[in-house]
Amino acid sequence: MSTSPHMSQDQLKALVGRAALAYVVPGQVLGVGTGSTVNHFIDALAELKDQIPGAVSSSVASTQRLLAHGIRVYEANEVGTLSVYVDGADEIDAQGCMIKGGGAALTREKIVAAQSQRFVCIADASKKVDVLGRFPLPVEIIPMAAHRLMRQFAALGGQASLRMQGEQPLVTDNGQHILDVRGLKISQALAFETEVSQWPGVVTVGVFAHQRAQICLLGTPEGVQTLNFSQA
């Protein structure tokens, strides 16, 4: 796909989705994330389906899309280490740490990321930030802990609200709820993830620092920019 200064955000997502095919290892199962950018990757991956055994998916939605293309989907426990995990991000910083979970699949995404040798993040240029936190931080929680966790985030200067779906709290693929936390500036992502992960009632915090990206393919009007965080 050629580039122009007038490419839409969706066109930029399609650009990086296709670029990620270069990181697919023939003959090996890969991990596939969730979201609009990943949907473009899945559509492009269909061209390589005869070269890979299949994929481990991080969400019901991605599983359905993979199967629709004739790509076999494995359960995480059926396979060992995955060669690569390809997923998007809501934000990514200069160290490859990310905020994820806008699509409510953060727990499964973090599990598949931890099972993978390399995390390749695909995103458009608007997702690159200096400090994480402008995007509301998703935190998957046990429902009975919601109000206490809201108070804990308030003590850190954040305003947490329950993610709703219509009149009811959104229920994740794991049967849990999500808090979206606004007003945070997360400059020490690794320490923040470690601390919040230990709070009783937190299932998964949407900071990916322990499972940060090694590569980010960033869609820009000038083309795909490759950021390498291996030494960051």
Please check whether residue 177 is in contact with residue 168, taking contact to mean a CB–CB distance below 8 angstroms.
no
pLDDT value at position 137?
98
Residue 1 inside a domain? The answer is no
| Alpha carbons within 13 A on the beta-carbon side of 197 | 15
Q: Does 99 lie in the same domain as 61?
A: yes
Q: Does 120 lie in the same domain as 183?
A: no
Q: Does 91 lie in the same domain as 187?
A: no
| 78 counts as catalytic | no
Contacts of 220 (CB under 8 A, 6+ apart): 3, 12, 124, 125
The domain tally of the chain equals 2
Helix or strand or coil: residue 3? coil
In terms of DSSP H, where are the helices of 58-199? 60-68, 106-114, 146-155, 189-197
Instruction: From the candidates 91, 109, 140, 193, give the one annotated as an active-site residue.
Output: 109
CATH number where 180 lies: 3.30.70.260
Q: Which helix (H) or strand (E) holds 18?
A: helix 9-19
pTM value surpassing 0.85: yes
pLDDT value at position 60?
93
Residue 3 inside a domain? The answer is no
Residue 2 inside a domain? The answer is no
pLDDT value at position 4?
66
Q: Does 78 lie in the same domain as 164?
A: no
The per-residue pLDDT for range 130-171, each reduced to its tens digit, is 999 999 999 999 999 999 999 999 999 999 999 999 999 999
pLDDT value at position 177?
98
pLDDT value at position 7?
85
Pick out the chain residues at pLDDT < 50.
Answer: none
pLDDT value at position 231?
62
* Both tokens assigned to 227: 């950021």
Q: Does 199 lie in the same domain as 224?
A: no
Q: Does 61 lie in the same domain as 95?
A: yes
pLDDT value at position 75?
97
pLDDT value at position 3?
64
Q: Which domain holds residue 182?
A: 137-206
Q: Does 224 lie in the same domain as 120?
A: yes
> Residues 120, 205, 74, 67: what is their CA dihedral angle, to the nearest 10 degrees?
-80
pLDDT value at position 125?
92
Q: Does 184 lie in the same domain as 151?
A: yes
Q: Does 146 lie in the same domain as 86?
A: no
* Both tokens assigned to 111: 């599990």
Cα three-residue angle 228-107-76, rounded to 5 degrees: 85
